[in-house]
Structures are given as C-alpha cells and as structure tokens.
Amino acid sequence: MDKREIVIYISGPYSGNIDANIQKARELAIKTWEAGYMVFTPHLNTFHFERDCKCAYEDYINGDIEMVNRCNAMLMTDNWKDSKGAITEHDYAKGYGIPVFYSLKEMEDHYAKNQGD
C-alpha cells in the first residue's frame, strides 16, 4: 500500500488554549503529510467554529467519530490526555480496532514493519 493511501486522523485537544491547540495539531499534520501520509485534522476542518457555528459539542464529536471510521489510523498529539474529546476518539478507535499511535516515529515504524497494513 502506498503511504498516501493511508489516511491518518490527528487527535488532540481543541478547547482550552484553542490557538495553541490548533497550532500543535497543525504542526503534527504537516510532519505527517511530509512523511508521505494523507492526513485529516479536525482542528483545521472546524477552525474557530466555536465562534462561527451554532452546532453543539456533541455535533462535533459525532462528526469526528464518523471521520475516525473513515481513517486507517489515529495519531495523537502529545497533550491528548488533556481533552475529553480526544479521549473519546482514542477509546473509540481502540475499541474498533483502528490503530492508534502516540508519535510519528511509532507510526512510521509500524507501517515500515507491516508494509502499509
């Protein structure tokens, strides 16, 4: 499997220090794209929707879970445990057998060993 066929979901906190959390997810997404993967970053998909969109928190989480279902793996930001939403995404992925990685290196090692599984 070509690495660009592997879609990675970036998971981490959004709320709290929103701009810093968006930037952290963005930086990880850039590194992951540069490593050759296709990346979905919900932080960038709904950038500052908290002020522009009237959706409820549950709408975002339900949408995020739907996107997790469409991805091959999940990559966590280093501060993911600070987020109720990221914990929900993490636990969902684990429960449904979607690989979860805690660093880009760990993910790269996995796909190198498993040749794109």
pLDDT at 117: 52
* Cβ contact 21:86 at 8 Å: no
Mean pLDDT over each residue of the chain, to the nearest integer: 94
Distances (CA, A) of 24 to 10, 14, 38, 82, 114: 10, 10, 18, 13, 28
- The model's pLDDT over 54-73, given as tens digits with 9 standing for 90+, comes to 999 899 999 999 999 999 99
Q: What is the pLDDT of residue 114?
A: 82
The pLDDT value recorded for residue 107 is 97
**Alpha-carbon span 33 to 36, nearest angstrom:** 5
Q: Which pLDDT band, with edges at 50, 70 and 90, does 1 fall under?
A: confident
Element spanning 97, H or E: none
Tokens 């709408």 identify what position?
A: 59
pLDDT at residue 116 tops 60: no
